[in-house]
Structure 1
Amino acid sequence: MLCEMRRQQRGSAKAALARVAACALLTGLLAVACVPLASGRAGAADLTAQQILDKIEGTTMLTGNGSATIELITENKRGQQRSNKLKVYRAKDSDGTDKQLLEYLSPADVAGTKLLSITGGGQESQIWLFMPALGRERRIAGTETRSKFMGTDFTYEEISGGSTYKENYKAERLADEDLGGRGCYVLRLTPSTESDYAYVKMWVWRDEFIPLKIEFYNKDGKVRKVLSNLDLKKNSKGKWEPSTLEMSDVAAGTKTTIKILEISDKPVSDEYFTVRYLRRR
């Protein structure tokens, strides 16, 4: 940054956009990175599981309004990696509707692929996928929302933020634990709606209310996937935020990493969040 004002603007934008996903996203893009709504440990022993969950906003990778450029890296069980570059556009309406558009920029064989999601606001969630090779969009609905998105370890639902922990899970507080030297609340989340997971276990950093790790368990009680928030750094306002998300599929031996490269809080035009825009080249 060339001046303190620009550093502060970037820090403010990044704090508003970065979070776990997750979660259901994650929150969104999968979900998820999470934005802390409060900090400090006052009354920690008295907080219920639901109160802790309420202090975490969002389940998509990014939240708020603006755009970001990200690197998405997939790794197969042989350790072979593939790097993709994407643009993410986000907007949140006054009625609570979350809108998100993902657009692949590279490599060439997937460039132009777009995923539009519109969730919340009391309306039915919509997820639309456009692939240039087909020349048309199609709606992702039903059980397909829980299938893997574009060869990643995130589902369509997780990457779009179509599911939230507060709305779709019942929370139970377990004994606190330390994770990587940070004191954490530990929550067990049981789905109240149809889900591929029997339950979810979440480690939430007590000081900042940021989920540091989320484990997703199969019906047989085994860990299926693990989502980690990595590379936590302080922004210009002194708030901690993750800049990297890592989702590991334990059973498949695969991994997907998302890194935030650039970020902006400049408002995004509503035209980005229309089915018609998906066809634009």
Structure 2
Amino acid sequence: MTTISALPLLDGTSIPALGLGVYKVDDTTARNSVTTALEAGYRLVDTASFYRNERGVGRALKDSGVLRDDVYVTTKLWNDAHGRGKTRRAFKDSVKRLNTAPDLYLIHWPCPARGLYAETWRALVELRDDGRVRSIGVSNFQRHHLETIIEDSGEVPVLNQIELHPYLQQRELRAFHAEHRIVTQAWSPLGRGAVLADETIVAIAAAHRVSPAQVILRWHLDLGVAVIPKSVTPDRIRANLDVNGFALTPDDHDRIAALDRGARVGSHPDEVK
């Protein structure tokens, strides 16, 4: 079984560096994918209330035979649940659907137009302090969003989950994360497939006799970035975990670094309402 490294979080816990994302799959598909992933050796599953598959994830966890303490579960608060009261209710609903408390709870988007993300962050701090969840963080927060909540609450998120791939490398934001000991976690690490056909990535993959996806995931891990690739195909789920049998060279890293073009496949965080 592949050994997955762990990244330390500033609250004294740690998170597996590589896990399974289940965005845009239904309950049944999520249940099957998570079951396959756990059998393959994954120990991190990332879901969200917006994905509408927390029940499927929960069923897979229950039926897997893997001890709950050995699996790291992340879920996220959706945009319509910002504000203290709604946040607490949404968290309770996620726990019910998962049939377990998550290890990490994130604000999915800052939604700055709503003006509630600082209050919502304080609600997550309350949930943690009440012992309802072990770790708390954010997703899709830009530097100015992070600065606002840190100044307002005095509490630093343990992790920020952001769009990050070779075409959008987010160097400045990653540097801010490093300065504050915030773990960077990449969603859409393969650029929703757009990066897989890049001629540089394809050439590096051929040189190492691995897949383009494996090259990109290895690149993330080499940067110290946690990564949650999504797949519903069993062979790809297993292959995405198999990234320890080769090493990218400094030249490989230089060539991938040159691919950055600031190109998003998702929405800009300031524009999400």
When normalised by structure 1's length, the TM-score is: 0.32
Greater relative contact order (CA < 8 Å, ≥ 6 in sequence): 1
- In terms of fraction of residues, the more strand-rich structure is 1
When normalised by structure 2's length, the TM-score is: 0.32
